[in-house]
Structure 1
Amino acid sequence: MTLIAPDTTVVHTTHGPVRGTVDGPVNVWKGIPYAAAPTGWHRFRAPVAPEPWTDVFDADRFGPAAPQSPMPGMPLGNVRKDEDCLSLNVWSTGTAGDRRPVMVWIHGGAYFRGASSQPVFDGRALADQGDVVVVTLNYRLGVFGFVDFSSLNTDDFRFDTNVALLDMIAALRWVQANIAAFGGDPDCVTLFGESAGGGAVTTLLTVPAAQGLFHRAIAESSPATSVYNQERAAHVARVFLDILGGAGDPVDRLLTASTDELLAASDELFARIPTETPGTLAFGPIVDGDLVPDYPVNSFWNGTAARVPLLIGTNKDESTLFKLMKSPLMPLDPDVIRGMFAEIAAEHPDVEFPDQARIESAYSGLETRDDALGLTRDFGFRLPTLWIVEAHARYAPTWLYRFDYATPMLKALGIGAAHATELPYVFGNIAHGPKEIPFLLGGLSTARKVSARMQQRWLEFAKNAVPVGLDGEPTWDPYDPIGRATMVIDKHDTVIADLDGPLRAAWGEQVIAFT
């Protein structure tokens, strides 16, 4: 009699059995549903558990990406797009009974684009290198996840707020209930993300319903102040309905519109809002007084954010990507920037706004677009990050970094260490060969060394809550209001005391939540 070895990739979850695949030393499960399809009467509502299944679910391919229009330079992998997008993926070198640290990734994309299936987010190298369990997830995007229609609630139908954040919380609850069966430790979960994903991390740190679902956090390039009040949310909902049509019976129109109709209107809204109100996003979390009780920066300063270790930072040249893409998200015209500041000051007469002349002088009077790039970079990313570290360091261990490394080609193109350029280094997916565009002028060997150092820091933080480096690397001290240690990640890493002193001097010490 021939004995057949059991399939070690078959795992029993709370919803049903799933079968993965083997990728070298790593077992992989893709496209596991963590919630039911948010369609029909579930559209714009909180996620609900999927129907249980008894047959083995073949988790051998990524689930559908959330509906979105194509974007050059953002390949989503070989997946279709569908509203039924609430799935996650697991990479693990362990088996049930192991207790490996878990890292849960939230992708970016302006709350509007992206997917866990993007090749740069393949978790194999990170799981193998660090002996951790990596989880990546999809969540609702654009109008499907980040427009608050609660101002349209009726006795017959209720729109929920922040449904995409609720998606993320549902995925984190799935991790708590199931990750032990994949060899992970539910008591050692690091939540990490970049851009909109980083903004989700800094927001979820302040959400009471998310506390206890993760124990460490890493926020890369978080637009932490792109969180809005319900008055603005109601305005955005009205603008969307004007674009879509159907204001006479908005509930029926929103529930019966096709995916393509909603997506087309979502695209128009994405461009219109930052054009009408520079410096703001069409989509983002809402302070609803319930799930999100306050603006996240306020919660950090009040000490009501989760007091877990935090690693946070930005890239040196964040804005160059938006310039390259001609994106409406970050204003670059000096007159538009001045108008943006005037509008913010008018909307918040009770706030002592920093002296505008002093700010402009720190950026050479905004005489060129390069000056504007620096200001929008700091306004959108670096300042919110500094406000958070100054606050959070009073309550929990906090580490601040800046990613400065750029290959010779990216420097020659004037891109530098742009927004999102750190992602391949974190995941260990920097390149498959020297003919890829970033390495046409060399730098692959150095890039691999940068990636190894960066991965080591991120992995040690996930394991032990301290970003210890490889032997011979500088010690990265926690941030405090005296030393203000900042790790500068470059060809050679350095720790600089008060790297952002000139920035704080220009903008002032006062924390201002621009909302």
Structure 2
Amino acid sequence: MNGRNTTVIGADERMNPVVATVQGEVRGVYGGELYAFKGIPYAAPPVGGLRFRAPRPPEPWNGVRDATTFGRIAPQPIQSGPGAQRREMSEDCLTVNVYTPELGDAGLPVMVWIHGGAYYVGSSADPLYDGTRLARLGVVVVTFNYRIGPLGYIDLSSFSTADDVFESNVGQRDQLAALAWVRDNIRAFGGSPDRVTLFGESSGAGAVTTMMATPSAEGLLHKAIAQSSPVGSVYSPETARVAAERFLRRLDVTADQVRRLRRIPAGALIEAGARLVVDTSTTEPGTIPVAPVVDGELVTEYPLTAMAKGDALRIPLLIGSNRDEAMLFRLLRSPIVPNTSKAVQLMVERLGTPEALAVPSGYRGYPRLRPALQLSTDAAFRMPTVWAASAQSRFAPTWAYEFDFAPPLLRVAGLGAMHGAELPHVFGTPVPRWVAAGAVSSGRKLTERMQRRWVSFATDGDPNPVGMEPFWPRYDTDSRYTYVFGGRDRIVSDPHGRIRQAWGDGIIAFR
């Protein structure tokens, strides 16, 4: 069955809609205004001999498959604390979820979301990523799971033999498979395969900007939104090999025994990977051992290099970061982003180049904690965002933003607009009233503005809905116009220009 010829089956049964996909029929739910389909396989279970291999197409099924609940999430460390979600984990996790206001060939724009989580935690089932409110604005929202941690982002390809192949970037390959599923099936869910916007946050945004440097992604996405992308956190094969060797040592597996990794329980792999992430981030601040790699096959260049040369996908890009990114990691005491003065100083020393060693002079009061945290924010997110916007703007329409909104409670606590703070406003998902206290009305209005701009970009390739002020001009290296989201939105030319100049004109990144 060809995806372009899929048809809606039983569309008159609105409460229990059935849609035909390439692999078979699925039954979702209708909640009034919106249809939702969850847990649809987009690839075969990557288990047994398919562990550490590129995803394979899913097997067709007979009858109607239930698509009313989320699929199992990718294996990952169990999260604790307030709001932590307890969901069943399985390597059989490669599923998509679709939220749509219409079924059939309606030709709506499609927004495909890649969840964040430092490439080793997270899932599409997180309530924060509920696509309902965005879809109500006239777009089809797709979310999905992909392999993370050591099962998705430890590169074992250098250990391959003729009889036992390990492929690189399998997490990125999963994302490509999900986009291919969208291309082949989304018409039946009301979307257009020719109007796909890929968007994500944190490592999900890093996956988006990496996808822009992936030649095989050509035609699968037509616009991109990157929220707090660690654009530079893409590593060389040599760096990836070091991480893989450390991973093997934690499992007492020698280089000639790598095939054993296909039989070791997933839980043991996840535990070893989690320890490796924490240890590496602590001893080598600014790096994480699970991340995309420039393998010369799937990812042919560093994303920032590809953008600068015009080799990246020349598609419209909306990209930005939050003013106080590092504060979340300080709050969680997570070393993934350096959040102590000592860790930030070690990060600068490890970069080692004269240009990097000169950067702290641009931060008044460094190495005291507050300026050190700002340097960490800039190193991980803001400067890579500036470099990406500057490069891409030479070849495709580009818009830059900074998110600077926080309720009074968070500002008084010194947390500000920390990492991930924009997510409830993009998705329209509620936050506890005690968190939003003092800013409920302004937060609600900000949500409306951000959603309208995101949907306008996905619809028309321009984040300027008719009649909305202020006008958001494109980014270029002369004006460096940046849209600042806050209690009152504003346009700023070259925000933090003095610090940007302290970083110089080159790209400073770990490889």
TM-score with structure 1 setting the length? 0.94
Give the partner amino acid of 2:435: P
Residue of structure 1 equivalent to 2:430: 430
Residue of structure 2 equivalent to 1:348: none
Give the partner amino acid of 1:505: Q
Deviations 1:101-138 (A, max 9, x none): 0000000000010000000111111100x211000010
Name the CA distance, whole Å, in 2 between partners of 1:425 and 1:372: 28
TM-superposed deviation, 1:79 = 3.0
Give the partner amino acid of 2:103: T
TM-superposed deviation, 1:227 = 0.6
Name the CA distance, whole Å, in 2 between partners of 1:436 and 1:361: 41
Correspondence 1:110 to 2:118: yes
- Within the candidate set 484, 488, 509, 1:488 is matched to 484
TM-superposed deviation, 1:185 = 0.6
Correspondence 1:361 to 2:361: yes
Name the CA distance, whole Å, in 2 between partners of 1:61 and 1:390: 42
Residue of structure 2 equivalent to 1:34: 42
**Percent of aligned pairs sharing the same letter:** 45
TM-superposed deviation, 1:248 = 6.3
Residue of structure 1 equivalent to 2:452: 456
Deviations 1:395-435 (A, max 9, x none): 0000000000101121122211100010010001134xxx5
Q: Would you say the 8 A contact 1:312–1:401 is kept in 2?
A: yes
Q: Would you say the 8 A contact 2:105–2:188 is kept in 1?
A: yes
Residue of structure 2 equivalent to 1:60: 68
Judged with a 3 Å threshold, the aligned counterparts in structure 2 of structure 1 residues 74 and 167 are, in CA distance, closer, same or farther, namely: farther
Name the CA distance, whole Å, in 1 between partners of 2:255 and 2:290: 24
Aligned residue pairs, count: 500
Name the CA distance, whole Å, in 2 between partners of 1:73 and 1:311: 33
Name the CA distance, whole Å, in 2 between partners of 1:498 and 1:479: 10
- Return 61-70 or 108-117, whichever deviates more: 61-70
Name the CA distance, whole Å, in 1 between partners of 2:408 and 2:342: 33
Give the partner amino acid of 2:399: W
Residue of structure 2 equivalent to 1:7: 13
Residue of structure 1 equivalent to 2:95: 87
Name the CA distance, whole Å, in 2 between partners of 1:474 and 1:307: 26
Residue of structure 2 equivalent to 1:132: 139
Residue of structure 1 equivalent to 2:387: 387
Counterparts of residues 213-224 of structure 1 (less than 5 Å): 213-224=220-231
TM-superposed deviation, 1:368 = 1.4
TM-superposed deviation, 1:339 = 3.3
- Return 456-465 or 471-480, whichever deviates more: 471-480
Secondary structure of the residue that 1:486 maps to in structure 2? strand
- Within the candidate set 465, 470, 483, 2:461 is matched to 465
Judged with a 3 Å threshold, the aligned counterparts in structure 2 of structure 1 residues 88 and 75 are, in CA distance, closer, same or farther, namely: farther
Name the CA distance, whole Å, in 2 between partners of 1:506 and 1:63: 47
Counterparts of residues 274-423 of structure 1 (less than 5 Å): 274-345=281-352, 353-354=354-355, 356-357=357-358, 359-423=359-423
When the two chains are superposed, the root-mean-square deviation of aligned CA atoms in Å is: 1.6
- Return 365-374 or 454-463, whichever deviates more: 365-374
- Within the candidate set 257, 269, 273, 2:264 is matched to 257
TM-superposed deviation, 1:205 = 0.6
Name the CA distance, whole Å, in 1 between partners of 2:420 and 2:356: 31
Correspondence 1:474 to 2:470: yes
Name the CA distance, whole Å, in 1 between partners of 2:340 and 2:416: 21
Judged with a 3 Å threshold, the aligned counterparts in structure 2 of structure 1 residues 43 and 416 are, in CA distance, closer, same or farther, namely: same
Name the CA distance, whole Å, in 2 between partners of 1:154 and 1:404: 50
TM-superposed deviation, 1:344 = 2.4
- Within the candidate set 171, 175, 179, 2:178 is matched to 171
- Within the candidate set 267, 275, 296, 1:268 is matched to 275
Secondary structure of the residue that 1:136 maps to in structure 2? strand
Residue of structure 1 equivalent to 2:213: 206
Secondary structure of the residue that 2:44 maps to in structure 1? coil
Q: Would you say the 8 A contact 2:27–2:68 is kept in 1?
A: yes
- Return 63-72 or 453-462, whichever deviates more: 63-72
Name the CA distance, whole Å, in 1 between partners of 2:215 and 2:356: 36
Deviations 1:182-203 (A, max 9, x none): 0001100000000000000000
Residue of structure 2 equivalent to 1:497: 493
TM-superposed deviation, 1:365 = 4.4
Contiguous gaps of at least 5 residues in structure 1: 346-351
Name the CA distance, whole Å, in 2 between partners of 1:460 and 1:380: 28
Correspondence 1:187 to 2:194: yes
Judged with a 3 Å threshold, the aligned counterparts in structure 2 of structure 1 residues 248 and 220 are, in CA distance, closer, same or farther, namely: closer
Give the partner amino acid of 1:92: T
- Return 239-248 or 491-500, whichever deviates more: 239-248
Secondary structure of the residue that 1:282 maps to in structure 2? coil
- Return 92-101 or 190-199, whichever deviates more: 92-101
TM-superposed deviation, 1:270 = 1.1
Name the CA distance, whole Å, in 2 between partners of 1:208 and 1:421: 32
Judged with a 3 Å threshold, the aligned counterparts in structure 2 of structure 1 residues 118 and 75 are, in CA distance, closer, same or farther, namely: farther
Judged with a 3 Å threshold, the aligned counterparts in structure 2 of structure 1 residues 472 and 125 are, in CA distance, closer, same or farther, namely: closer
Q: Would you say the 8 A contact 1:319–1:377 is kept in 2?
A: yes
Name the CA distance, whole Å, in 2 between partners of 1:203 and 1:197: 10
TM-superposed deviation, 1:324 = 0.6
TM-superposed deviation, 1:81 = 0.8
Q: Would you say the 8 A contact 2:351–2:509 is kept in 1?
A: no
Secondary structure of the residue that 2:318 maps to in structure 1? strand
Name the CA distance, whole Å, in 1 between partners of 2:122 and 2:466: 32
Contiguous gaps of at least 5 residues in structure 2: 1-9
Name the CA distance, whole Å, in 2 between partners of 1:197 and 1:86: 16
Name the CA distance, whole Å, in 1 between partners of 2:150 and 2:379: 25
Secondary structure of the residue that 2:355 maps to in structure 1? coil
Residue of structure 1 equivalent to 2:6: none
Give the partner amino acid of 2:462: V
Q: Would you say the 8 A contact 1:76–1:119 is kept in 2?
A: no
